[in-house]
Chain A
Amino acid sequence: MIEVSGIRFGYPNKPLIFDDFSWVTKPGESWAVLGASGCGKSTLLYLLAGLRFPQSGVIKISGEVLHRPRPHTSLILQDYGLLPWATVAENIALGLRIRQFYGPDGKHAPEGAILEKVEQTVAYWIGRVGLIEVEDQFPGQISGGQRQRTAIARSLALTPDLLLMDEPFASLDTLTREGLQKLILQLRRESNLTTVTVTHSIEEAALLGEKILVMGSPPQKRCTTIDNPDSGEVDFAGSPSYNTTCSQLRAVMEDLR
């Protein structure tokens, strides 16, 4: 699904973040990317989303070299990236409206995409993530958890095959966060979605990642991954296997520091 081969990337006048870094994932896998702040995990997402480009090396998604944001990839950012001037329903419809705006040109919208029935799709997702009572409100009027549900619905309404999430639950309280983590796990089971969740929390990485990519301090050269096959099982949190993964992650992070 994702093939990162030998990329080099750094922001202008800053030290390199990736130096000959390679990483491969298979379709349908759910990955967590774990690292301390400043290690370049958000940059990795921007690179995968086609919003930034490596100075050398190649990123391929579904076998195609990335030159621009790809219609089948969705990105959810920490601060939700919702339009403050659009209602919840309008925000969820945004991606579909943009696809209608351009038509199925293969660049902004997938070729052959069916662009009718925006209302039905939006209504389905509003119900699916539980936002019916706030669908006509603006993002400034709803809670952080509801905003994040809006962002998730907006992304999934586009039926992506790759979902990228940057610290999606960082600013939420524990109960809301757990509710949303469960929702993501459920949605993942319903589709063959490949997910990459960036997080600085060991517990969240263990909960959401069947495979976990651990990043040390930059520049990233080698790719340290940990298998966590039981993630996604019911009641995984708190199970012995979950605890093993957590302590394993902690050890690796100490090691990479």
Chain B
Amino acid sequence: MRRFRLLWATLGILSAWWLLSLGLNKAIVPSPWLVIVEFGKEIFGSLGGHFLASFWRVSASMTLAILLATPAGLVLGQSTRLNHFFEPLIYLLYPIPKVVLVPVVLLIMGINDLSKIFMIFLILFFQVLVLVRDQAALIRPELVYSVRSVGAGRRALFKYVYFPATLPAVLTAVRQSIGTAVAVLYVVELVATQKGLGYYIYLYGSTMFDYPKMYAGILAMSMMGLGLYYAADALHHWLCPWQFTDSEKHI
């Protein structure tokens, strides 16, 4: 059912795009069919390489953000004292649009993959941290009491309570991060690189004026986002089956 709905949505967008291209009749909005043909040709050529470069940056930064922010969020969510200490710091740093730091990060970390991955990581880290912390703080003390009363110490509590309780928050954070990560990806690939979809889109859009190629790049970026989104969704269904039962939802 879901696949059919997705198919209908895709067809809807393509038709709207097609009508727009017919109505405007300008090179900047080429027909979608032209773009799809270009995409088919390019994806096994140079576009494929740019796609892989971007995919590596996005997945590396997401993995890094989740691996570091999840334990930090768990600790902050469960320790009121630590949370009181760090909360002002997080609230000061969280809303800063970190994209503006791109030149600084480039200057300090150099023109390489690392600086780009770090940039995306920096933005994702706070998103995941705040989501996981809030979820960990929601764990009811009664649940912890009753699990402790059957013998659980700190390690067993982590394994049987804290970890599964925050897993949905981590996966929600993953899904939310995908959109952000892809958006930031474009920005960090605009400067000081010749690899990546951001560079590809900018190159053909603003330098070579080859619009079908530019749109093929945009298509590749959207498909990367969609693929990641579906992967996160599948992971959520697989790891948190209790959230997808018919009756009332829990945590």
Contact = CB atoms under 8 A, between A and B. Distances in A.
The answer to whether A and B assemble together is: yes
Interface of A: 46, 49, 51, 69, 71, 73-81, 83-86, 94-95, 97-99, 101-102, 107-109, 137-141, 151, 154-155, 158
Contacts of A141: 245-247
Contacts of A75: 145-146, 149-150
Contacts of A101: 155-156, 159
A140 B149 contact: no
B160 interface: yes
Contacts of B161: 83
B159 A74 contact: no
A71 B84 CA distance: 34
Contact of A109 (B148, B151, B246): B151
A140 B243 CA distance: 9
Contact of A154 (B140, B150, B159, B241): B150
Nearest to B247: A141
Nearest to A138: B242
Contact of B151 (A76, A99, A137, A139): A99
Nearest to B146: A81
Contacts of A137: 245
A95 B147 CA distance: 8
A85 B151 contact: no
Contacts of A138: 241-242, 245, 250
B152 A85 contact: no
Contacts of B165: 85
Contacts of A97: 160
Interface residues of B, number: 30
B153 A108 contact: yes
Given A101-B159, A102-B156, A140-B247, A94 B145 contact: no
Nearest to B167: A85
24 contacts: A46-B145, A51-B145, A69-B148, A73-B149, A74-B150, A75-B146, A77-B146, A79-B142, A83-B164, A84-B242, A86-B242, A98-B151, A98-B160, A101-B159, A102-B151, A107-B153, A108-B151, A138-B242, A138-B245, A140-B245, A140-B247, A141-B246, A154-B150, A158-B151
Nearest to A50: B149
Chain B contact residues, majority secondary structure:
helix
Contacts of A71: 151
Given A51-B148, A155-B150, 9 more contacts: A74-B149, A75-B146, A85-B165, A85-B240, A95-B150, A101-B155, A108-B153, A140-B249, A141-B245
Nearest to A158: B150
A116 B165 CA distance: 27
A49 B156 CA distance: 18
Contact of A69 (B149, B160, B240): B149
Contacts of B149: 49, 51, 69, 73-75
Contacts of A73: 149
Interface string B149-187: 111110110011100110100000000000000000000
A81 B160 CA distance: 13
B108 interface: no
A46 to B, nearest CB: 7
Among B146, B240, B250, residue most surrounded by chain A Cβ atoms (within 10 Å): B146
A73 B151 CA distance: 9
B236 to A, nearest CB: 13
Given A84-B242, A138-B242, A102 B153 contact: yes
B143 interface: yes
Among B142, B145, B164, B247, max chain A CB count under 10 A is at: B145
Nearest to A71: B151
A152 to B, nearest CB: 12
- 8 closest A-B pairs by CB: A81-B146, A95-B150, A84-B250, A75-B149, A140-B250, A108-B151, A138-B242, A85-B164
Nearest to A97: B160
A154 B159 CA distance: 18
Interface string B214-251: 00000000000000000000000000111001111111
Interface centre among A75, A95, A98 (most CB of B within 10 A): A98
B4 to A, nearest CB: 28
